[in-house]
């Protein structure tokens, strides 16, 4: 069974759904001001409620790490960082320690939101010419890796808004690296991706050390990664013993990875296998804190990262839909789905045409997010489905940015490869004070073959494939540049108060899946768990971010719980439907937040992709 495919991933949900159905519970009704309460409905899982904290993530091991930090007095950031670090050890099918982790934080004390730029850049030696013959950039192997950014991002988050040190938040991850019971979801990927992974010497030694894969329940150990984690923790601990300065200790632990012997070994292993890494690429790398982009949708302030990230595409889609009476159409009606799909197409056309690393390209972000521009785009939605890629002209709405002499027209590149598409995980946390943490960690995955950097135990990133090779593209490859990542954490405030933190795996579909959930909550007043479990759609129309950046014009994935009459009406409008199983969407949303009326903490986790959540 090819576990990397959408079909096979949807199969994986069936045992979970069956189990959850056995313990089905009644969802908590949403309490959104201005909305008429809706009757509660049965969901596979109950909405989680609490007063101390809630942690939601991709695996129970990851959730446990965050819960431990809060039980020890840590806040949402401490918990979120610990969960991300734990996930890098135990969720290696979709995320590893050498990957990336864009994150967002709402600070309840200062009432501000910060973005942690957790996406690493291309090695400085990388150029489009190196990949011209192939026509695309590989998503696996030594040439597929951007500079590891996850640890730097988590150190920045901890330093800026946490209360603990790296040595403390690393403890669960170290324990997991020493050994955790193998689980079925991961074992399936170790089987399906074995041939692709064993082509790399240290990957074979790390993930298949005895030539066999542990059975479910047997301990899976990563001793080399455990040594790397201990070295980071020891440096943090020693620096704190000397200085009693938490920030200095965090930086000392971080620098062991980026400036010490570990960095030399990572660079040497990558270069020996044909990669482009140098020690200076790691030693000179520093992420940064940034301001978010934002829009207001029906009274809710939605926050995303900047245009080095695909996040603003969600804001554009919401702006387009704000002028459409979705509630009058009815949830998952043909009219509703038609308008949502057309809005997604328009927003993603702009993503592909204009988004890129602002350090290398001028992005007309003010124009892209302006309400008048959204109104202009909205007028393009007709009664029939469009099969075109209709890029807008945001420069007319953003006089501060001069349009390029020659505009880029998005397109695919190269020939599609047979490798398995990669994916992601997610971590979202809320604490008793209302602090919010949202992260979308990814890369360093098994999918398509993991590349382990020598004896460090660190799987390297897979994000280089996101770059374009067309010199006109704002996302064209350049040394030291960040690819326009699909990793897209999300925060939502209501009246300036914390409302929701949410994220999901899913590559290009991430912001579409979050859109599905947010519309259910904001427009239709549904509870978090009910919104997460509701039927989903996902457009394959936009040019993708991976492999050959392919497009499937007009194609819409739709779960078969949407009634057949609605599906027939959509087909009549020209939408090309790809019908999935009842919970077949390849995604896994988690969301946590604060009930705006009661102040109670609440959260939900997808039954798709086996998401986990705990709160108290």
- Sequence-distant (6+) residues with CB within 8 A of 283 are 258, 259, 263
Confidence of residue 38 (pLDDT cuts 50, 70, 90): low
pLDDT in tens, 235-274: 999 999 999 999 999 999 999 999 999 999 999 999 999 9
Assess if residue 549 is contained within a domain.
yes
The arithmetic mean of pLDDT across residues 39-49, rounded, is: 87
Assess if residue 539 is contained within a domain.
yes
For the chain, the domain total comes to: 1
Which string of DSSP letters, residue by residue, matches 376-391? HHHTT--SS---S---
The arithmetic mean of pLDDT across residues 207-214, rounded, is: 94
pLDDT at 21: 32
pLDDT in tens, 8-17: 333 333 334 3
pLDDT at 416: 86
Quick check: 455 pLDDT over 80?
Answer: yes
Quick check: 33 pLDDT over 90?
Answer: no
In the chain the first and final C-alpha atoms are separated, in Å, by 38
Assess if residue 266 is contained within a domain.
no
Confidence of residue 6 (pLDDT cuts 50, 70, 90): very low
pLDDT in tens, 109-131: 999 999 999 999 999 999 999 99
Assess if residue 387 is contained within a domain.
yes
Q: What are the backbone dihedrals phi and psi of residue 212, each rounded to the nearest 5 degrees, phi first?
A: -140, 160
Assess if residue 453 is contained within a domain.
no
Assess if residue 350 is contained within a domain.
yes
Regarding beta strands 112-116 and 289-290, do their DSSP bridges make them parallel or antiparallel, or are they unpaired?
A: antiparallel
The arithmetic mean of pLDDT across residues 405-429, rounded, is: 88
Regarding beta strands 427-431 and 436-439, do their DSSP bridges make them parallel or antiparallel, or are they unpaired?
A: antiparallel
**Cβ-contact 131, 469 below 8 angstroms:** yes
pLDDT in tens, 525-558: 999 999 999 999 999 999 999 999 999 999 999 9
Please give the Cα distance from 481 to 335 (Å, whole number): 41
Mean pLDDT of the chain: 93
Quick check: 25 pLDDT over 80?
Answer: no
Which long-range contacts does 266-273 make (Cβ < 8 Å, 24+ apart)?
A: 266/98, 266/148, 266/453, 266/454, 266/456, 266/458, 266/460, 268/454, 269/202, 269/452, 269/453, 269/454, 269/456, 270/142, 270/145, 270/451, 270/453, 270/460, 271/142, 272/454, 273/141, 273/142, 273/200, 273/451
**Cβ-contact 555, 578 below 8 angstroms:** yes
> Which residue in 79, 229, 227 sits closest to 167, CA to CA?
229
pLDDT at 27: 37
- HSE toward the beta carbon, residue 566, CA cutoff 13 A: 19
Quick count: other Cβ atoms within 10 Å of Cβ 434?
A: 19
Confidence (pTM): 0.93
pLDDT at 40: 65
Confidence of residue 37 (pLDDT cuts 50, 70, 90): low
Domain hosting residue 306, numbered range: 293-414+532-580
Range of weakest confidence among 2-6, 25-29, 476-480: 2-6
Assess if residue 169 is contained within a domain.
no
Question: Residue 543 is part of a domain; what is its CATH number?
Answer: 1.10.246.130
pLDDT in tens, 409-420: 999 998 888 766
* Largest Cα–Cα separation, the chain: 71
pLDDT at 422: 65
Which string of DSSP letters, residue by residue, matches 209-278? TTSSPPPTTSEE--HHHHHHHHHHHHHHHHHHHHH--HHHHHHHHHHHHHHSHHHHHHHHHHHHTT----
CA 323 to chain centre: 28
**Cβ-contact 411, 543 below 8 angstroms:** yes
3-class secondary-structure state, position 4: coil
Assess if residue 308 is contained within a domain.
yes
pLDDT in tens, 549-589: 999 999 999 999 999 999 999 999 999 999 999 999 999 99
pLDDT at 271: 97
3-class secondary-structure state, position 491: strand
């Amino acid at each position: 069974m090819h576990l990397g495919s959408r079909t096979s991933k949807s199969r994986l949900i069936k045992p979970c759904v069956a189990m959850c159905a056995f313990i089905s519970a009644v969802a908590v009704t949403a309490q959104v001001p201005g909305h008429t309460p809706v009757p509660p409905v049965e969901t596979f899982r109950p909405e989680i409620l609490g007063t101390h904290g809630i942690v939601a993530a991709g695996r129970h091991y990851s959730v446990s790490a965050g819960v431990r930090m809060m039980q020890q007095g840590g806040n949402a950031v401490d918990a979120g960082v610990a969960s991300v670090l734990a996930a890098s050890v135990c969720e290696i099918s979709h995320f590893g320690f050498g990957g990336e982790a864009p994150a967002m934080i709402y600070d309840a004390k200062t009432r501000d939101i910060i973005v942690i730029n957790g996406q690493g850049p291309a090695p400085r030696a990388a150029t489009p010419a190196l990949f011209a013959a192939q026509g695309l950039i590989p998503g696996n192997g030594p040439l597929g890796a951007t500079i590891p950014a996850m640890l730097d991002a988590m150190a920045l988050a901890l330093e800026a808004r946490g209360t603990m040190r790296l040595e403390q938040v690393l403890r669960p991850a170290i324990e997991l690296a020493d050994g955790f019971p193998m689980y079925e979801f991961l074992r399936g990927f170790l089987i399906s991706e074995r041939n692709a992974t064993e082509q790399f010497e240290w990957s074979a030694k790390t993930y298949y050390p005895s030539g066999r894969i542990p059975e479910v329940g047997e301990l899976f150990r990563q001793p080399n990664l455990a040594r790397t984690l201990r070295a980071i923790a020891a440096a943090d601990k020693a620096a704190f013993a000397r200085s009693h300065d938490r920030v200095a200790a965090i930086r000392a632990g971080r620098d062991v990875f980026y400036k010490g012997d570990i960095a030399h070994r990572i660079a040497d292993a990558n270069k020996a296998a044909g990669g482009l890494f140098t020690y200076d690429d790691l030693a000179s790398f520093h992420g940064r804190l940034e301001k978010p982009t934002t829009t207001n949708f029906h009274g809710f302030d939605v926050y995303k990262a900047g245009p080095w990230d695909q996040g603003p595409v969600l804001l554009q889609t919401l702006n387009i839909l704000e002028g459409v009476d979705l509630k009058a159409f009815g949830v998952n009606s043909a009219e509703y789905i038609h308008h949502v799909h057309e809005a997604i197409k328009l927003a993603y056309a702009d993503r592909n045409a204009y988004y890129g690393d602002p350090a290398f390209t001028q992005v007309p972000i003010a124009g892209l997010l302006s309400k008048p521009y959204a109104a202009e785009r909205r007028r393009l939605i007709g009664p029939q489905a469009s099969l075109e890629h209709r890029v807008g002209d945001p420069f007319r709405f953003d006089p501060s940015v001069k349009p390029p002499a020659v505009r880029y027209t998005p397109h695919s590149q190269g020939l599609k490869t047979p490798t398995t598409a990669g994916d992601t995980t997610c971590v979202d946390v809320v604490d008793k004070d209302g602090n919010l943490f949202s992260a979308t960690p990814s890369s360093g995955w098994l999918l398509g073959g993991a590349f382990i950097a020598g004896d460090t135990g660190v799987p390297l990133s897979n994000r280089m494939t996101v770059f374009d090779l067309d010199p006109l593209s704002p996302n064209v490859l350049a040394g030291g540049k960040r690819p326009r990542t699909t990793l897209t954490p999300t925060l939502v405030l209501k009246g300036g108060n914390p409302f929701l933190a949410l994220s999901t795996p899913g590559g290009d579909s991430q912001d579409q899946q979050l859109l599905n959930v947010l519309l259910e909550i904001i427009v239709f007043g549904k509870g978090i768990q009910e919104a997460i479990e509701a039927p989903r759609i996902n457009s394959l129309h936009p040019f993708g971010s991976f492999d050959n950046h392919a497009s499937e014009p007009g194609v819409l994935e739709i779960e078969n719980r949407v009634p057949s009459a609605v599906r027939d009406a959509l087909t009549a409008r020209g939408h090309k439907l790809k019908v999935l199983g009842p919970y077949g969407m390849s995604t896994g949303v988690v969301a946590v937040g604060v009930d705006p009326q009661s102040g109670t903490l609440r959260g939900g986790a997808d039954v798709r992709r086996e998401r986990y959540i705990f709160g108290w």
